[in-house]
Structure 1
Amino acid sequence: MALTVFFVIMTVAAYLLSRYLYFRYNNPLINIVLLSAAAIIAILVLAKIPYQAYVPAKDIMTFLLGPATVALAVPLYRNRHLLKQYGIAIFMGVGIGTLISMATVMFITRAGGLTREIIVSIIPKSSTIPIAVDVAQLAGGNSALAVAFVVATGTFGSVIGLTLLSWFKIYDPVARGLAMGTVSHGQGTAMALLEGEKQGSMAGVAMSLAGVFTSVLAPILIACFVD
């Protein structure tokens, strides 16, 4: 029990340090999730602590993801006027963005000659892990690969997403939040929320809608272009 408490404290400390560095230097390469995970892995490896010893602490923090996700309703409620103002644009934008994301990676992997299992597993990469795993498994993909692709997409998007939007001079908080939530799911939403409440609330909406669109559109794309 004491070791579990220590690991929870260690993880929170790694997060707080990474968050401080992110705001202190404002560098996209200082990604909070990536840096925190790297620090925890380094500590476990250097101290020769097996991952199984860390699992109880991981399970506690994973359980807290549920309440944290529900808590996204708070900034969304505060910015509910944006849903009324941009409702149709949000729905269409997230739908088109989700479709383009899946179609692009599907055609690239097909052109690269990858196996059907890999193609099917990577198509739902921009949705959350539970949705991506279910879509991949139902279509004959590999759940482990699906998880890996989702994590990689979220990490990559959270690292360069906001910077890329700034390069293209996209500064509107609604647009930035929707883009991050559509492409980079939970990790993108977390980074958007750090930038601002409007960005975070819109990213949360986009993440939810993207999951719905992925569940509906991914099987259609696979049936039409992969099978």
Structure 2
Amino acid sequence: MTAFTISITVSLYFISRKIYLKTQNALLTPLLLSTISIIIILHYSGISFEQYKPGKDIMTFLLGPATVALALPLYQNRQVLRKSFVPILVGIASGALATLTTAVLLAKMSGLDSLIVTSIATKSITAPIAIEISHLTGGDPAIAVAFVVFTGTLGSMIGASFLTLCKIDDPVARGLAMGVTAHGQGTAIILEEGKTQGAMAGVAMALSAIFISFIAPFYIPWLINI
């Protein structure tokens, strides 16, 4: 069953990616289309989540090596990073701070429960770090992960098109924007544009998560209480 569920997942993602590359339709991004397809297949085939979980765990484990593999395009574009290191670092820190601040303030203005406000603060960083930060700040890890997944999915769907609409064409800027706001999912999508975009997105995803990890324990509670 494990091999079967992995085969289904990989096949559906491969097909979804082919469809997206051919249509370039934001509503047909590989993650969204393959996820919906898997849910439908599991529902109608009678395969339970407990049966699917062993295969899911193996694929989740492989995310680690896949993330490390982003070091290759980063190495290939090391001259770009070295040349603009300070502006890139400032841009990542500013973007990470802006996404956190606007998320919390908009949630507060909407009258959401304090638990949700705290949990939504980490929506733009990768899930493992969001879980740990939610523990430290009094949020709910499950809610935090839900917002992380939603943000990444939405960012991968509309992020690149929005940047184009705003006439942001520089590969470095596009990569940094997607990495900071849509973490891994955004990085996977922008990597389709080019290695420079993918490398910068990988750098932004990692450094923004580290930056938020340092400031979150004191900045999020302060922001919520102002």
Q: Of the candidates 151, 158, 161, which is equivalent to residue 160 of structure 1? A: 158
Q: Of the candidates 88, 94, 102, which is equivalent to residue 104 of structure 1? A: 102
Query: How far apart, in 1, do the equivalents of 2:118 and 2:81 lie?
Result: 33
1:196-207 alignment, distance < 5 Å = 196-207=194-205
For the Cα contact (< 8 Å) 1:15–1:32, is it kept in 2? yes
1:195 Cα deviation after fit: 1.4
Q: Of the candidates 125, 141, 144, which is equivalent to residue 142 of structure 2? A: 144
Q: Does 1:77 align with 2:86?
A: no
1:219 Cα deviation after fit: 2.4
1:37-56 alignment, distance < 5 Å = 37-56=35-54
Alignment partner, residue 7 of structure 1: 5
User: Helix, strand or coil for the counterpart of 2:97?
Assistant: helix
Q: Of the candidates 85, 89, 104, which is equivalent to residue 87 of structure 1? A: 85
Query: How far apart, in 1, do the equivalents of 2:75 and 2:146 lie?
Result: 32
Count residues in correspondence: 225
Query: How far apart, in 1, do the equivalents of 2:149 and 2:118 lie?
Result: 16
What are structure 1's unaligned runs of at least 5 residues?
Answer: none
1:181 Cα deviation after fit: 0.2
Alignment partner, residue 175 of structure 1: 173
| 1:43-70 deviation line (CA, Å, top 9, x unaligned) | 0001121111111111111111111011
TM-score, length-scaled by structure 1: 0.97
- Percent pairwise identity: 49
User: Helix, strand or coil for the counterpart of 2:84?
Assistant: helix
Query: How far apart, in 2, do the equivalents of 1:93 and 1:28 lie?
Result: 26
What are structure 2's unaligned runs of at least 5 residues?
Answer: none
Query: How far apart, in 2, do the equivalents of 1:214 and 1:162 lie?
Result: 23
1:226 Cα deviation after fit: 1.6
User: Residue type of the partner of 2:92?
Assistant: V
For the Cα contact (< 8 Å) 2:155–2:182, is it kept in 1? yes
Alignment partner, residue 111 of structure 2: 113
Structural RMSD (CA):
0.9
Q: Of the candidates 203, 220, 223, which is equivalent to residue 221 of structure 2? A: 223
The list of structure 1 runs, each at least 4 consecutive aligned residues, that deviate by more than 6 angstroms after superposition, is none
TM-score, length-scaled by structure 2: 0.97
Query: How far apart, in 2, do the equivalents of 1:26 and 1:37 lie?
Result: 18
Query: How far apart, in 2, do the equivalents of 1:46 and 1:140 lie?
Result: 38
| 1:126-152 deviation line (CA, Å, top 9, x unaligned) | 011111111111111101000101000
For the Cα contact (< 8 Å) 2:101–2:223, is it kept in 1? no
1:114 Cα deviation after fit: 1.4
Query: How far apart, in 2, do the equivalents of 1:221 and 1:125 lie?
Result: 15
1:27 Cα deviation after fit: 1.3
For the Cα contact (< 8 Å) 1:31–1:159, is it kept in 2? yes
